[in-house]
Amino acid sequence: MTSTGTHDGSLEQLKREGRIVVVGASLAGLRAAETMREKGFAGSLTMIGDEPYEPYDRPPLSKQVLLGNAVADHTALPRRRAIDADWRLGVPATGLDMAARRVELGNGDAVEYDRLLIATGVRARPWPNAEEGALKGVFVLRTRDDGEGLQRALAAGPRRVLVIGAGFTGSEIASACRERGLDVTVAERGDAPLVGALGGVIGAVAAEMNRENGVDLRTGVMVTSLEGDPSGRVRAAHFSDGSTVEADVVVVSLGAQRNTEWLSGSGLGAGPRGIACDAGCRAFDVRGIVTDDIYVAGDVARSPHALFGYQFLSLEHWGNAVAQADTAAHNMLSVSADRRPHLWVPAFWSSQFGVNIKSVGVPPMGTEILITQGSLAERRFAAAYGYQGRLIAAVTFDNCRWLPFYEQQIEATAPFPPPFSTVDRRPEGTKPMPADFPDPSVPTHGPTITLSGYSPADRKMTFTPGR
């Protein structure tokens, strides 16, 4: 038997009668499953999801749903095709046995696989004090149930809403509150909204946008505690500057945590920053060796990107989930020579205070920024981010039709500042300025690896997952 023959033969067999398990029944999991069927996978397909719902779309949850214009349980993702899967919904995966190729489930069951796709995504970071977080009226926003609960709380007409954290989700929530005519306070530890994602120059525009729309924006402060009334309902929040804000709805919007705990001890390279994988979506084990039967896609994946210095990027982007799922599914059913790298250029959008915000590339890599078109004052512009003399990202406010151009420039590693003239270049667009990202904080809660043993044969690695 030649090795090629074996390989092709086993791939054919996999396609015909193999067992593929997808953990994570959301956007990435569903799209991957559809692609596998499109590519002729005829074996058994198991979809595991911890929520009881079939895959649904999240972007509407912080937008139309909060406005009451869409109903949370009507956001099911459209199906591209039937996937004929064995659905295990409402049951979390709790463990992985890599040697036995088996996923363990919360109800005691186990499912065996020939190929595994992990697309468990992220969840909302909860309020650090569990007791305060459990007060009635305190919400996070990630799932369909979260969206529905928060929508109901807003519809009830609270006297004031407090949003903790002014990232994209927090800002969209504040925007929805204002659109509903609700008083809202936003507390942000940084100097401005969106500053972590887009830097201080753009953050200042976002701050102005918040204030002009009647948001009580407090920056440079932290919420130190939440206070409840005797009935267990939130009534106030205390701030690091000594002030107090009374609110009967509090939305904790402090970013996301990756759903990787279920993999601890499995030997897979999974931790708080995601699951490391190669550009072809194959997961690394803790030794840094790539697996060939375990793939990763979506928010939980961390993969090196050739265009951005092979940085390991983990992206919570809708488009990334779709593209990466497609690549993972393709590679799972391909011989090595036919595999494709995941080369998606990061892109996301947001809608807040009536402004359409879109970005391509990796803005936080940028050290400088230039307003290439339009004007900050009009809140209608395109801005380019520069990193070591090249264009690394761009963002548009109400100007998204130009974005494909900047994407192409980023892909072509175009120089920064851009040496060409454009339509709508204003005086402020002649000189780059510092992009003003906050100093990178020290993420010390990462996993550690310790080595033991002396000779190459008994050299051992021990993996300790982060906090």
Q: By CB under 8 A, name the binding residues for other proteins.
A: 354, 372-374, 378, 380, 382, 401-405, 408, 419-424
Q: How far is the CB of 323 from other proteins (least distance, A)?
A: 15
Vertex 316: Cα angle to 312 and 319 (nearest 5): 100
Structure tokens, 299: 């928010």
Q: How far is the CB of 422 from other proteins (least distance, A)?
A: 4
Nearer to other proteins by Cβ, of 318 and 402: the residue is 402
Q: How far is the CB of 273 from other proteins (least distance, A)?
A: 34
Nearer to other proteins by Cβ, of 423 and 451: the residue is 423
Nearer to other proteins by Cβ, of 284 and 416: the residue is 416
Nearer to other proteins by Cβ, of 52 and 354: the residue is 354
Nearer to other proteins by Cβ, of 108 and 419: the residue is 419
Nearer to other proteins by Cβ, of 289 and 423: the residue is 423
Element (DSSP H or E) covering residue 222? none
The answer to whether 344 and 362 have CB atoms below 8 angstroms apart is: no
Q: How far is the CB of 421 from other proteins (least distance, A)?
A: 5
218 phi/psi in degrees, rounded to 5? -115, 115
Nearest to 163 by CA among 87, 250, 234, 98: 250
Three-state DSSP at 37 gives: helix
The answer to whether 252 and 151 have CB atoms below 8 angstroms apart is: no
Q: How far is the CB of 398 from other proteins (least distance, A)?
A: 9
Q: How far is the CB of 129 from other proteins (least distance, A)?
A: 40
318 alpha carbon, distance to own chain's centre:
8
Nearer to other proteins by Cβ, of 169 and 373: the residue is 373
Element (DSSP H or E) covering residue 417? none
The answer to whether 326 and 360 have CB atoms below 8 angstroms apart is: no
116 alpha carbon, distance to own chain's centre:
21
Nearest to 164 by CA among 145, 143, 144, 137: 137
Sequence-ordered list of residues with C-beta below 8 angstroms from that of 156, at least 6 positions apart, any chain: none
Structure tokens, 181: 């005519």
Q: How far is the CB of 121 from other proteins (least distance, A)?
A: 27
Which one-letter DSSP state was computed for residue 31? H
The residues that bridge with 93 in the sheet, in sequence order, are 105
Q: How far is the CB of 168 from other proteins (least distance, A)?
A: 20
Nearer to other proteins by Cβ, of 225 and 408: the residue is 408
Cα 313 to Cα 43, 301, 437, distances in angstroms: 32, 8, 18
